[in-house]
Amino acid sequence: MAKWDKESFIKDMQKNCSRETTKIGLRIIEFAEKYSDGLTWGRGHEHGTLTFRCDSDYGLLPLFHFSSDGKINLTINFLRSKGLPTQVLRDMIVKLEANFLREYDPEMYPVDTFEPVDDLFHTESQVEKFLKTIEGCAYRLKQ
């Protein structure tokens, strides 16, 4: 059973994160509630985790994890290991690379890690593009 829920997650996020990170976090929570096929809250002791899951032919896949200490984990390598259609994964990676100005190829991004939201999102436009990328990926996985 989950230790965390939306209310406790938001309280912890407000306590541990800047106002800007909290604002981004609230947008991510709102988005996840609307588009996730399996939104789950973690059981961690120190911080909460929200996991955005998408139903697909490969089962319920996590597309990202967001923690109440203001970090996000893009599950790119996990998704690579599932053998998703190349066009779905490639579309997601290209859009994330363009949005965050980072490389997510297996050599430059060998393992999925939690990264501070402040290091990835610098503008409102980047938040919106990230959410649209996840929405598009979720849509394509359901086709």
| Cα–Cα distance, 51 to 132 (Å, whole number) | 17
pLDDT of the chain, 143 residues: tens digit per residue: 568 999 999 999 999 999 999 999 999 999 999 999 999 999 988 999 999 999 998 899 999 999 999 999 999 999 999 988 889 999 999 999 999 999 999 999 999 999 999 999 999 999 999 999 999 999 999 87
Amino acid at 31: F
pTM for this structure? Answer: 0.93
Q: What is the dihedral of CA 16, 132, 35, 38, to 10 degrees?
A: -70
Domain boundaries, the chain: 6-142
Beta-carbon contacts of residue 62 (< 8 Å; ≥ 6 apart): 51, 52, 53, 75, 78
